[in-house]
Structure 1
Amino acid sequence: MPNTNPAFEDHDHSHCARGTLARAEAVAEERGARLTPVRKRALEILLEAHRAMGAYEVLERLAEDGFGKQPPVAYRALEFLVENGFAHRIRRLNAFAACMHPGEAHAPVFLICGVCDGVMEAAAEPVRAALDIAAAAHGFVIERANIEALGQCPACAETVDNTEIPA
C-alpha cells in the first residue's frame, strides 16, 4: 500500500488536517458518537502537527481555549478519541497522535523520529498479517496491536551524524 501519510514529506498540512477532521466527524456521526466541542478541539490540537503530544500539552492548549485546566478534561477527551479510532496512544512517548485514517480498518505502525519526535502513521498490513500468522500458530487471536518503530525522519537523518550509531 502506498504511503498516504505525508508526515515526513512537504505537503499542504492545513488541507491534510481538515480532511482528517472531516472524516472523523463523519465517522462519529455515523456511529452516533458525540464529538463534543472539547473532544473536537482535542483532535484539532493533535492534527495541528504530525507529532505525538502528551496529555498535559493537550490540556494546556485546551485551557488556552477555555475548556478548563483540570487533567480529566484532557484525559477524557483523549480516551474518547482513542476508543473511537480518532487518535492513537504512542506508548514509547507516553503521548497521543491523531489517527490519519479514521473509520478505516487498518493496522498502523508508528514511525517515530527520535530526534524531532515527529510521528508518521504508516499502513502496515503485511506486518499485521505476519503477526496474525505467528499468533495463530499458538492458538492466539490478536485483537489489537500497537507497533512502534524508533528511528530518524528524512530531515533529521540528513542533519544528524549517523556514523556513530551501532548497527
Structure 2
Amino acid sequence: MNLHTHKLLIQTKKICAQRQVRLTPQRIEVLKLISKQYQKAVSAYDLLHLSRTSSLPHAKPSTIYRALNFLLKQGFIHRIESTNKFMLCQNFLELSHNFIFFICNHCKQVTEQAIKEIEIILQHKAKLTGFNIHNNIIESHGLCLQCTNKLIFSHPLYK
C-alpha cells in the first residue's frame, strides 16, 4: 500500500469514528480500489472485476453497490453522472463543497476542481426564483491538455 492510500485510510477511519458509522472491510477495500484509479473514474462492474484480485475475490455486485452507496453518502467518493462511474473525492475532508468535473473524452482522465465562483452565481440565481439548492454536479466533457497536444501534433499539417 502506498503512502497516499495509507494516509487516505487513516483519515477515512478517523472520520467514520467521529460520525459513528461503520467502515467495514468491504467498504475499505472498495475505497482502496477506487483510490488506485488515479484521476480515472471506474464503474461498479470494473470494481467487481478489480475485486477478484483483491481481498474481495468472491464479492457480488450487491456488495460493491452497498459499499459505493456508503462511500457516496459519507462524501468519500463522487459519482460521475454522465458515465455512471465513481472516483475518489479530492476534498472529502470538507463536509460540503462544490466542484466541477473535467472529463477527457479521449483518455478518460477526470479532474475535480473546486468552483466557489460558480456556486455564488448558482445561489444568487436560485434565490431569485425562491429555489433551494441541495446538490449540484457540473460535468464538462472535452479533451485534456495532453490529448489536445497529441491530436494537434499528430495532424498531417504538423508533420
Name the TM tier (shorter chain).
0.7 to 0.9
TM-score normalised to structure 1 length: 0.82
Where relative contact order (Cα < 8 A, 6+ residues apart) is larger, the structure is 1
Partners of 1:60 and 1:69 within 8 A in 2: no
Question: What SS class does the counterpart of residue 101 from structure 2 fall into?
Answer: strand
Specify every segment of 5 or more residues in structure 1 that has no aligned partner in the other structure, as ranges: 1-13
Match of 2:92 among 88, 102, 105: 102
Alignment deviations for residues 100-125 of structure 1 (CA, whole Å, 9 cap, x no partner):
11130211111111111111111111
The answer to whether structure 1 residue 20 and structure 2 residue 8 are counterparts is yes
Match of 2:103 among 95, 112, 121: 112
Percent identical? 31
- Counterpart CA distance in 2 for 1:22 and 1:151 is 35
Alignment deviations for residues 65-108 of structure 1 (CA, whole Å, 9 cap, x no partner):
24224210111111110011000100111100111111302111
Q: Which shifted more, 87-96 or 67-76?
A: 67-76
Q: Please give the root-mean-square deviation of Cα atoms over the aligned residues, in Å.
A: 1.8
Q: 1:154 and 1:17, CA in 2 relative to 1: closer, same or farther beyond 3 A?
A: farther
Q: Quote the offset at 1:16 in angstroms.
A: 4.1
Alignment deviations for residues 49-77 of structure 1 (CA, whole Å, 9 cap, x no partner):
21100000011122322422421011111
Q: Quote the offset at 1:21 in angstroms.
A: 3.4
1:4-153 equivalence runs, <5 A:
14-48=2-36, 49-67=38-56, 68-104=58-94, 105-153=96-144
- Counterpart CA distance in 2 for 1:133 and 1:19 is 37
